[in-house]
Amino acid sequence: MNLARLAAEAGARGTPVRAGLIGAGKFGSMFLSQAPTIAGLEVSAIADLSPDRARSACAAVGWDENRIAATAYLEDGAALAARDDVDVVIEATGNPRVGITHARAAIAAGKHIVMVNVEADVLAGPALASEARAAGVVYSMAYGDQPALVSEMVDWARATGFHVTAAGKGTKYLPAYHEVTPDDVWSHYGLTAQEAAAAGMNPQMFNSFLDGTKSAIEMVAIANACGLDVPDAGLAFPPCGVDDLAHVLRPREVGGQLDRRGMAETVSSLERDGRPVFRDLRWGVYVVLEAPNDYAAACFKQYGLPTDSTGRFASMYKPFHLIGLELSISVLSAALRHEPTGQSREMRGTVAAVAKRDLTAGEVLDGEGGYTVWGKAQPIARAGHALPIGLAHGVAMTRDVARGAVLGFDDVTLGPDPVVDLYRGLIAG
């Protein structure tokens, strides 16, 4: 609650927090739009495959010519991490392999790393966090994105003595969405392809939000950070509004829909017949609490907290998340408090690649949000040799696989690969 003051004091001392951004897409642009109004925070360098695009992004979010001219623009994210004028590296490329490389470059250079790249985090987050701790720097989830916001809510619940029954987010979901491709994604958002292109929206990225892959990635990240379980059969996406969170997201043994206590789950803003859920949580995050004793349960009722029928389960929620507009919280927390806003600790789950349609030998997979596969959250204990979605890009099938099947490592051609070795070491250990 004193982060703004700490940042302002650092600026007044002439030692502002200097951030370097890798990836000037939508998330990065939202952060850039806020940076000029935050006392004690500077963006000293931006790396992007197109430096000209990064300059254009700065102009589009309202930077003046002097600020644009004072910022360094690079193509190489690792080179940005090595710069003397960068204290905190923000990895916002969305490419898991590249993200792991950039995180390690930042850690090796003694820089804090804020990992917007959840795709990289679910592949190697616990290992990267361990490497950062050993180097005396912070590896952090990105505030504004759902995993960090949920991690904060879970921490609040535990620090106040409640048991966490469930935690997660809302999204728009129907089972048929698992097979949607970039060709027909915009109709589900109520946009034309032209409107989406004008807004700079990437169809494959936004299709990942729709086909369930991004939800799986984010729920696994939450499970890995908060010590929660991934549902045995994958995310169920139960339709649920904010008034019913404590009823629906409690264990089956007491009338709910969870396998057990302590689960990560995404709720749908649509009923299965397509009707909107009343008071949905499409843009928000939640935590379901269980009172540890009768006295606390009685306090729920006395202070007007909506509960389930037993009176022992209640929920807290945040109706919106502001993505990159909130990212500075992570940057400042890492630099000024040496504290992450959420951090992967263990591999509780993974995101397995599932065939969107019949796949044939020799066909090359196109990864998250594409035409060939979608990502399904799975507990590590049940995942076996499942191919993670983060490695299902640019690799060829070795055999035919039927629609709906979970792909395994043996189903694709993978040569010697340090990222594969890193992932396998984590799930084995």
Percent of the chain, pLDDT > 90?
94
Question: CA 40, CA 12: separation in Å to the nearest integer?
Answer: 7
Confidence of residue 88 (pLDDT cuts 50, 70, 90): very high
For residue 18, which phi and psi values (nearest 5 degrees)? Answer: -110, 115
Confidence of residue 293 (pLDDT cuts 50, 70, 90): very high
pLDDT value at residue 128: 98
For residue 350, which phi and psi values (nearest 5 degrees)? Answer: -145, 175
pTM for this structure? 0.96
Question: CA 19, CA 27: separation in Å to the nearest integer?
Answer: 15
Domains of the chain: 3-145+324-337 (3.40.50.720), 147-173+212-319 (no CATH), 349-428 (3.90.1210.10)
DSSP H/E element including 47? strand 41-47
pLDDT value at residue 196: 87
Q: What is the DSSP string of 279-327?
A: TB-TT-EEEEEE-SSHHHHHHHHHTT--B-TTSSEEEEEES---GGGGT
User: Residue 199 pLDDT > 90, yes or no?
Assistant: no
- Residue 21 β-bridge partners: 46, 90
Question: CA 292, CA 426: separation in Å to the nearest integer?
Answer: 34
pLDDT value at residue 64: 97
pLDDT in tens, 217-266: 999 999 999 999 999 999 999 999 999 999 999 999 999 999 999 999 99
Q: What angle do CA 170, 173, 174 make, to 5 degrees?
A: 155
Neighbour-count burial for 402-424, b at 16+ CB within 10 Å, e otherwise: eeeebbbbebbeeeeeebbeebe
175's CB contacts (< 8 A; 6+ apart) are 272
Q: Which of 246, 251, 318, 256 is nearest to 281 (CA)?
A: 318
For residue 277, give the DSSP letter.
P
pLDDT in tens, 325-347: 999 999 999 999 999 999 999 99
Asked whether the beta carbons of 225 and 147 are under 8 A apart, the reply is: yes
For residue 270, give the DSSP letter.
B
User: Residue 143 pLDDT > 80, yes or no?
Assistant: yes
Question: CA 376, CA 384: separation in Å to the nearest integer?
Answer: 13
Asked whether the beta carbons of 28 and 321 are under 8 A apart, the reply is: no
Q: Which of 94, 8, 122, 55 is nearest to 324 (CA)?
A: 94
Q: What is the DSSP string of 162-219?
A: -EEEEEEEEE---GGGGG--TTSHHHHHT--HHHHHHTT--HHHHHHHHSSHHHHHHH
